[in-house]
Chains A and B, each alone.
Chain A
Amino acid sequence: MALSGVEIFKLLPKTNCKKCGHPTCLAFAMKLAQRQASLDQCPDVSEEAKKILGEASAPPIRSITFGSGDRAVKIGEETVLFRHDKKFVNPCALAVEIKDTLSEGEITKKIEEVLASEIDRVGQKLRVDAIALTNASGDKGKFESAAKLIASKAPNVPVILSTTDPASAEAAVKLFAGKKPIIYGANSGNAEAMANIAKTEKAILGVVANGLDELSTLTEKIKALGVEDMVIDSGAKKAEEMLENNTMIRRAALKKNYKPFGYPVINFAQRDDSLHEALIASVGITKYASIIVVSGIEKWKNLALFTLRQNIYTDPQVPMQVEQKIYKIGEATPDSPLTITTNFSLTYFIVSGEIENSKVPCRLAVMDCEGLSVLTAWAAGKFTASKIATFIKESGIENEVKHRELIIPGYVAILSGSIEDKLEGWKVTVGPREANGLPAFLKARTA
């Protein structure tokens, strides 16, 4: 549990020496309690205090950086169970499995797919984050040579090395020195050996158990052996069990501050049926996985999973907005109609979708109204005649279109006269109230 300011104060040197940049030890303690300061700012704090405070102030789910450099992914650090309470912090990483039983050519092909998986979606770059090499052969030499191939072809991609054999793990992990790979496969049989390797090689340790009880014992044991960075797997494979265990782990970590489960969760979603696999991965994305391993990365599947992850990890407090500009939909010519709406992303998506459906090429002017929908923006005085007129004038659209006609949403029909007054030479046409009226409306105009 988090300590109060006074409890923290009792552990500080109480000399008020100001070296921490705060006037008194108490002031510093208050800042610490609010997580606005970090303990290392006080040079004189005792080792014992460090230990107590360090544990109490650690986030309930450890933050781990997986991989290194540009493609490193941060995982863990989650603070809530439901996304409407607060933004989910670190989007779960998607990893694709490569079995060491594949031929060199097949492995190379999969690596290339991972490297080429990047897609741009509403301004964010989305991609397969990691490769999970599994020791399906059970052979150390095969595992090592597959690892070598990955290390040379995809040197920047974070890697999960999946094997229960410590010697194989050790041989492979050395190929990724300084790159923070995950060694996955510490279990109750090999925990000491695996922990030693992870510690020496500065790798993250993936811990797998048979159920939650065993998992909690294992993480405590491994922590006592000196490994801090772990990702945990309850061993669940079936969707129901995965959901139950992921939920228990997240609840225990957040609501009970239960330290043995204060680590990011890794789920294995591999299925023979690729679509089924996508849906199992969807369960993991919505419910608490920090890493999901899949077997296939068809482009359509990537797109769906990336998009779901993006949706679930969006900040619920900030209305999603799209950029203010004039969007061309279809092969718009200088004679194509010009419509206007606000920059609330949902409004934009629905309106642009309906225009696309109409198959009538159009220009859609999207005006910055701080992410409000048409009616709300109008009511809040952000979608007014003068603001619309200014936006249209400054947009430079007059050089792009031959006509001077602006179609406004039916909900703000009341604005048509005053826009015409303020926008000289323009005619304002009132469009349908709901976006689903747009196809008929646009088609009727061209008929």
Chain B
Amino acid sequence: MAFTAPKETYSGKVYNVTIGTGERAASFGGENVLPFLPFEGTIPNKPLIAYEIQDVPPTDWPENVQKPFSSVSGDPVTWAKFCQDTLKAKAIALRLIGTHPDRENRSPEDAAKTVKDVLSAINVPLIILGSNNAEKDAPVLIAAAEAAKDKNCILGKAQEANYKTIAAAAMANNHKLIAMSELDINLSKQLNILITQMGFDKERLITDPMCSALGYGLEYTYSVMERIRLAALTQNDLTMQPPMLADVGMYVWKIKETQAPESDVPSWGNAEERGIAWEATTAAALLMAGAELLIMRHPKAVEAVGKLIEEL
């Protein structure tokens, strides 16, 4: 029995999304095949990794991932420049975590100023993230969107509870938008539909089906992503064709495996390498499930995932 390769052709295609402006603008998505199977279709872009920074010093990050940024993370502008110039970041994700009411409770005006300052210091694309407090994110992201007008950023995250205001702000200021729902393909689809019904162009959306860390529900994110991608390709479901985000760093660097010192759990080995491996492995698995945009923290994890992408 001679072997004939069982190739697939798909009717659907993931939207190609470009963010940023000028020479350093970056694109992701655009493929019409399952992840990294170029022999049966086209993959115009490699996945994009954005370095995560935040508006306030990362005192809440575990020691091992604070360290690489210890001399720059006191100020978001210095931090952003360090990522762009020293770490060669292709994109930066600014999380306005300091606006959370339980944290520094920074005002929307303060947040807008941070966004402006960071934008004027970098030329790579910027992703602007709220603090994931549905109520506070609405005014914060409106102010941030205005401050970044026409810079073609990604604004996020719009959730069921606040998508209207955030989507409107993204639309008015020419940004892309992350739509996040919690680990359910139907919720993802529904939110994308609701947002496009407002007149938001579906080709400017990024789907975030919610990330989970390795060992902490990764398989849920993995399978929701695979199902979304299959729906986009095999059923040509237009509502499922925006590229997908894996917001890896935030979910990985809060679990025990990335924090516990080796002295506490000798069988787990070196804590620093373990944390890096945890972030990189989580990212690698989600790449295989279909993520096109990753937000990550540790430079060594970013480097390792970059190296994997080069080999794929």
User: Contact residues of A with B, CB < 8 Å?
Assistant: 82-84, 119, 121, 212-213, 215-216, 220, 238-240, 243-244, 247-248, 251-252, 255-256, 258-261, 273, 275-276, 278-280, 282-283, 285-287, 298-305, 307-308, 310-312, 314, 316, 345-346, 349-350, 353-354, 356-357, 436-437, 439-440
Minimum CB–CB distance for B265 against chain A, Å? 9
- Count B-side interface residues using an 8 Å CB cutoff: 55
Closest 9 A-B residue pairs measured CB to CB?
A299-B269, A440-B102, A300-B274, A300-B269, A84-B223, A239-B311, A216-B3, A311-B219, A346-B217
A216 adjacent to B2 (CB under 8 Å) = yes
- Does B188 lie at the interface of the complex (its beta carbon under 8 Å from any beta carbon of A)? no
With A299-B267, A350-B216 as given contacts, are A279 and B280 in contact (CB-CB < 8 Å)? yes
A83 adjacent to B219 (CB under 8 Å) = yes
13 A–B pairs (Cβ distance < 8 Å), ordered by A: A119-B267, A240-B38, A244-B39, A248-B6, A252-B3, A275-B273, A279-B305, A282-B288, A286-B285, A299-B270, A303-B257, A303-B267, A346-B216
Minimum CB–CB distance for B291 against chain A, Å? 12
Chain A residues near B304 (CB, 8 Å)?
273, 275-276, 279
Minimum CB–CB distance for B174 against chain A, Å? 31
Q: Among A83, A301, A437, which residue has its beta carbon within 8 angstroms of that of B102?
A: A437
Q: How far is the CA of A258 from the CA of B271 in the complex (A)?
A: 45
Q: How far is the CA of A350 from the CA of B37 in the complex (A)?
A: 34
A300 adjacent to B273 (CB under 8 Å) = yes
- Does B36 lie at the interface of the complex (its beta carbon under 8 Å from any beta carbon of A)? yes
- Does B83 lie at the interface of the complex (its beta carbon under 8 Å from any beta carbon of A)? no
Interface positions of B from 211 to 253, Cβ below 8 Å from A:
212, 214-220, 222-223, 226-227, 230
- B-side interface mostly: helix
Closest to A215 in B: B3
B288 adjacent to A278 (CB under 8 Å) = no
Minimum CB–CB distance for A366 against chain B, Å? 15
Closest to B131 in A: A436
Q: Among B6, B226, B273, B280, which residue has its beta carbon within 8 angstroms of that of A298?
A: B273
Chain B residues near A436 (CB, 8 Å)?
132
Most buried by A among B219, B267, B280, B300: B219
A260 adjacent to B223 (CB under 8 Å) = no
Interface positions of B from 283 to 312, Cβ below 8 Å from A:
284-285, 288-289, 300, 304-305, 307-308, 311-312
Closest to B218 in A: A311
A240 adjacent to B311 (CB under 8 Å) = yes
Q: Among A83, A243, A275, A349, which residue has its beta carbon within 8 angstroms of that of B36?
A: A243
Chain A residues near B132 (CB, 8 Å)?
436
Minimum CB–CB distance for B217 against chain A, Å? 4
Chain B residues near A248 (CB, 8 Å)?
5-6
B222 adjacent to A346 (CB under 8 Å) = no
B274 adjacent to A276 (CB under 8 Å) = no
Minimum CB–CB distance for B238 against chain A, Å? 21
Q: How far is the CA of A278 from the CA of B311 in the complex (A)?
A: 13
Chain B residues near A279 (CB, 8 Å)?
280-281, 284, 304-305, 307-308
B3 adjacent to A278 (CB under 8 Å) = no
- Does B163 lie at the interface of the complex (its beta carbon under 8 Å from any beta carbon of A)? no
Q: How far is the CA of A217 from the CA of B255 in the complex (A)?
A: 48
Chain A residues near B24 (CB, 8 Å)?
none
Minimum CB–CB distance for A345 against chain B, Å? 7
B280 adjacent to A275 (CB under 8 Å) = yes
